[in-house]
Copies of this chain bind each other. A is one copy, B any other.
């Protein structure tokens, strides 16, 4: 394979002509595929259908403690579901509050509460002139939308292969009192797929925030979402590490079963220190009389315990693996050596992050769209939708079938090539 940058103008022009021919052939097919969002595929949803039989009109609707899940009560979640989510999040049950169907909603509420009430007694953020959040990039667009919505200034932090650039994180957090938070997806990160090293987790736990109300928003969305049986990432327990470091209240951990059972009909949870929980419950008791406890019971009856959860996630992994491999194989075979893009092979999560030649991402996404393949918008993985390099593209292989993924990735690769050639030709 000859790197495109080493090609002559004539070679590039010839290549362009042949790529454009291919493009026209694909365009004529009128395909329609979606690699935009981390949506589970149909075969994954089938895995959880038996859960819907676990609660029926003949079921015992009481919790282990004898509380009726059909009525008001258990604001912090039913005990057995708190235990299940605690085991999933690798924390203690007494540090867990089980909420509704969406961990994103808990994150939103956590930021919203900080805006109007402050954090554990601090000045409400809405009363401050300036509030800043650190945003490891590329990252999760919906995190950035929350902080943008509340007018919080977002600062890009580059992601390395073992987590965010911690020198920069420390510099900001330890010196700027306006820096109140950081968004993290510590395991199988969205979208890069990397997991934070022990050193990174420890450096997080040992931050010396200038702001007493600084918090780490630790979205452990993919904590049990492995793709392989043999190679699995594990990360250090941030709650323990923070406690050891004398920063027990510095972190909020979020997780849900949205990509375990059903997106929209799962259960979500927050894990944090007892002190933080006190303030969260003080708000939650005003916000709602309680979350959906029947659905919590449904989940517990289905999985029984963490072992049941792991067996279930293995099945998800088996369905996702061929889709990821389809993408990665084609990227490898078609793009290796061309020096027009790079990517990381993740061991879990929902995404493959692709870095195109700078200045090409928008063009690639647009070209793919013309051929019927919808990708996450270029720039979406950056705050304000602004990727300064116009390089990163998030590929979500979960929703299409493996066959469709092959088809879609071939189209993607074609567009990557064409965009690169056009760029090199100065077009």
Q: How distant is the Cα of A288 from the Cα of B49 in the complex, in angstroms? A: 23
Q: How distant is the Cα of A55 from the Cα of B49 in the complex, in angstroms? A: 10
Q: How distant is the Cα of A56 from the Cα of B48 in the complex, in angstroms? A: 11
Taking a contact as CB atoms under 8 Å apart, the answer to whether B72 and A264 are in contact is yes
Identify A55's interface contact among B37, B50, B52, B263, CB under 8 A. B52
**Interface hits, A260-317 → B, CB 8 Å:** 262-265, 283, 285-295
Taking a contact as CB atoms under 8 Å apart, the answer to whether A264 and B116 are in contact is no
Interface centre among A40, A52, A102, by most B CB within 10 Å?
Answer: A52
CB distance from A127 to the nearest CB of B (A): 7
User: Which B residues are CB-close (under 8 A) to A104?
Assistant: 287-289
Taking a contact as CB atoms under 8 Å apart, the answer to whether B52 and A71 are in contact is no
User: Which B residues are CB-close (under 8 A) to A142?
Assistant: 286, 289
Q: How distant is the Cα of A108 from the Cα of B108 in the complex, in angstroms? A: 13
Interface segment, A6-14, A144-152, A198-206, A407-415? A144-152
Interface centre among A59, A116, A295, by most B CB within 10 Å?
Answer: A116
A295-B56 contact, Cβ under 8 Å, with A287-B108, A288-B108: no
Nearest-neighbor residue (CB-CB) of A115 within chain B: B116
Taking a contact as CB atoms under 8 Å apart, the answer to whether B289 and A263 are in contact is yes
Taking a contact as CB atoms under 8 Å apart, the answer to whether B283 and A264 are in contact is no
Q: Which residues of A contact B (CB under 8 A)?
A: 37, 39-40, 42, 45, 48-53, 55-57, 59, 61, 68-73, 100-102, 104-105, 108-109, 112, 115-117, 124, 126-127, 142, 145-146, 149-150, 258, 262-265, 283, 285-295
Nearest-neighbor residue (CB-CB) of A102 within chain B: B288
Known: A101-B292, A108-B286, A109-B287. 18 other contacts (CB 8 A): A37-B72, A45-B68, A45-B71, A48-B70, A52-B56, A52-B294, A53-B57, A69-B265, A71-B262, A102-B289, A112-B116, A124-B126, A263-B290, A264-B290, A264-B294, A265-B292, A265-B293, A265-B294
CB distance from A8 to the nearest CB of B (A): 47
User: Which B residues are CB-close (under 8 A) to A42?
Assistant: 68
CB distance from A106 to the nearest CB of B (A): 10
Q: How distant is the Cα of A42 from the Cα of B70 in the complex, in angstroms? A: 9
Q: How distant is the Cα of A70 from the Cα of B73 in the complex, in angstroms? A: 27
Taking a contact as CB atoms under 8 Å apart, the answer to whether A286 and B40 are in contact is no
24 contacts between A and B (CB under 8 A): A39-B72, A45-B71, A50-B57, A52-B55, A52-B57, A52-B294, A53-B56, A53-B57, A69-B264, A70-B262, A71-B263, A72-B263, A101-B291, A102-B288, A108-B287, A109-B287, A126-B127, A142-B289, A146-B287, A149-B283, A258-B289, A264-B293, A265-B292, A265-B294
A288-B105 contact, Cβ under 8 Å, with A100-B100, A112-B116, A116-B150: yes
A115-B126 contact, Cβ under 8 Å, with A262-B294, A289-B142, A294-B265: yes
Q: How distant is the Cα of A105 from the Cα of B293 in the complex, in angstroms? A: 16
Interface centre among A55, A70, A264, by most B CB within 10 Å?
Answer: A264
User: Which B residues are CB-close (under 8 A) to A101?
Assistant: 100, 288, 291-292
Taking a contact as CB atoms under 8 Å apart, the answer to whether A105 and B53 are in contact is no
CB distance from A254 to the nearest CB of B (A): 13
Q: How distant is the Cα of A258 from the Cα of B294 in the complex, in angstroms? A: 13
Taking a contact as CB atoms under 8 Å apart, the answer to whether B37 and A265 are in contact is no
A265-B295 contact, Cβ under 8 Å, with A56-B56, A108-B288, A116-B126: yes
Q: How distant is the Cα of A390 from the Cα of B290 in the complex, in angstroms? A: 30
Nearest-neighbor residue (CB-CB) of A49 within chain B: B57
Nearest-neighbor residue (CB-CB) of A145 within chain B: B286
User: Which B residues are CB-close (under 8 A) to A102?
Assistant: 288-290
Q: How distant is the Cα of A100 from the Cα of B287 in the complex, in angstroms? A: 13
Nearest-neighbor residue (CB-CB) of A108 within chain B: B287
Taking a contact as CB atoms under 8 Å apart, the answer to whether A52 and B59 are in contact is yes
